[in-house]
């Protein structure tokens, strides 16, 4: 089985593939101080819940946007799984031209998402990833990664509001009952939620105007399902698109017999 690991700034998502099927998946908090041994303990316990063990993992593929974690994860793979992982980077085959000023600057997760989305839809695409940052990425109908936008994520925007405005309480990020709030909590929830819904739809509209095409819009990330409820432009939501992209990239770089 193939273990796919997507290391993000807030969460690390792991998926276990049997052939082309995602059979198990887990989400852990990303902790930079976690050692290789600690990662191994977490993974071993997760596998045991599914009656699996390290010896059943035949290979590992990783996308990582937290460089300080690379050593611990790589060491965990080599010591406990007995495999050197394939790490998504500029030197590996991705079967997608990167049409940006400096391709090596583009986050691995953004490229992996783009690869998986284009492989599935084969048309003009905008991928919105609701992570620590909210990213918008455009892929042309010819399968070229053409760049995008990065804005502060929903969570860190809300956190800035809580910490910098002394009289405002901490609230859950949730869809409010009404747009016009009748108390402070309702006003904050409405502002956070509908502010981001309008941000997403507005950015997509401007992207399409600039590129001159309507695009299929795919959302992913932890808050994708929430924001998609009222977005007029999000066409589909897939929280595992990054894992799917990692599986594709592994297949291109490590073809079977």
DSSP string spanning the chain? Answer: -EEEEEE-SSEEEEEEEETTEEEEEEEEE--TT--HHHHHHHHHHHHHHTT--GGG--EEEEEES-GGGHHHHHHHIIIII--PPEE-STTS--SS-B-SS-GGGS-HHHHHHHHHHHHHH-S-EEEEEESSEEEEEEE-TTS-EEEEEEEE-HHHHHHHHHHH-TTPPP------S-SS-SSHHHHHHHHHHHHHHHHHHHHHHHHHHHHTS--EEEEEETTHHHHHTT-SS--EE-TTHHHHHHHHHHHHHS---
- Tell me, what's the pLDDT at 210? 96
Catalytic residue, from 6, 101, 109, 251: name it.
Answer: 109
Asked whether the beta carbons of 221 and 10 are under 8 A apart, the reply is: no
- Whether 109 is catalytic is yes
What CATH number does domain 103-244 carry, 2.30.30.40, 3.30.1490.480, 3.40.1110.10, 3.30.420.40? Answer: 3.30.420.40
Altogether, the residues listed in the chain come to a count of 257
Residue 164: per-residue pLDDT: 83
d(CA 189, CA 227): 12
For residue 255, pLDDT over 70 is answered with: no
How many C-beta neighbours within 10 Å does residue 67 have? 9
pLDDT digits (tens, 9 = 90+) for 210-233: 999 999 999 999 899 999 999 999
* Domain 2-87 grouped into CATH 3.30.420.40: yes
pLDDT digits (tens, 9 = 90+) for 159-171: 888 888 878 888 8
Domain(s) labelled CATH 3.30.420.40 in the chain stretch across 2-87, 103-244
pLDDT in tens, 154-199: 888 888 888 888 788 888 888 988 999 889 899 989 999 999 999 9
Per residue in 100-119, pLDDT (tens digit) is: 999 888 989 999 999 999 99
* % of residues, the chain, pLDDT over 70: 99
Handedness of CA 89, 95, 96, 100 (dihedral sign): positive
β-strand partners of 175: none
pLDDT of residue 37: 95
Q: Provide the phi-psi class of 46: left if phi over 0, else alpha when psi is between -120 and 50, else beta.
A: alpha
Cβ-contact 56, 217 below 8 angstroms: no
């Amino acid at each position: 089985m193939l273990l796919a690991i997507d290391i993000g700034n807030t969460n690390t998502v792991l998926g276990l593939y049997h052939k082309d099927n995602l059979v198990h998946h887990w989400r852990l908090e990303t902790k930079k101080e976690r050692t290789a041994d600690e990662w191994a303990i977490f993974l071993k316990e997760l596998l045991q819940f599914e009656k699996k063990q390290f010896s059943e993992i035949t290979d590992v593929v990783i996308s990582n946007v937290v460089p300080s974690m690379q050593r611990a994860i790589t060491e965990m793979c080599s010591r406990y799984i007995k495999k050197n992982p394939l790490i998504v980077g500029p030197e590996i085959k991705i079967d997608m031209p990167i049409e940006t000023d400096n391709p090596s600057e583009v986050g691995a997760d953004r490229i992996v998402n783009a690869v998986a989305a284009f492989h599935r839809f084969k048309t003009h695409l905008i991928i919105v990833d609701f992570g620590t940052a909210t990213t918008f990425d455009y892929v042309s109908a010819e399968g070229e990664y053409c760049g995008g936008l990065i804005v502060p994520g929903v969570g860190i925007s809300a956190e800035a509001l809580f910490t910098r405005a002394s009289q405002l309480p901490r609230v859950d990020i949730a869809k409010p009952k009404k747009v016009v709030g009748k108390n402070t909590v309702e006003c904050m929830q409405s502002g956070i939620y509908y502010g981001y819904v309008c941000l997403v739809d507005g950015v997509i509209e401007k992207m399409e105007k600039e590129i001159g095409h309507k695009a299929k819009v795919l959302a992913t990330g932890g808050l994708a399902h929430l924001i998609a409820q009222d977005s007029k432009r999000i066409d589909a939501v897939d929280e595992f698109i990054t894992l799917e992209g990692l599986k594709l990239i592994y297949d291109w770089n490590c073809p079977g017999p």
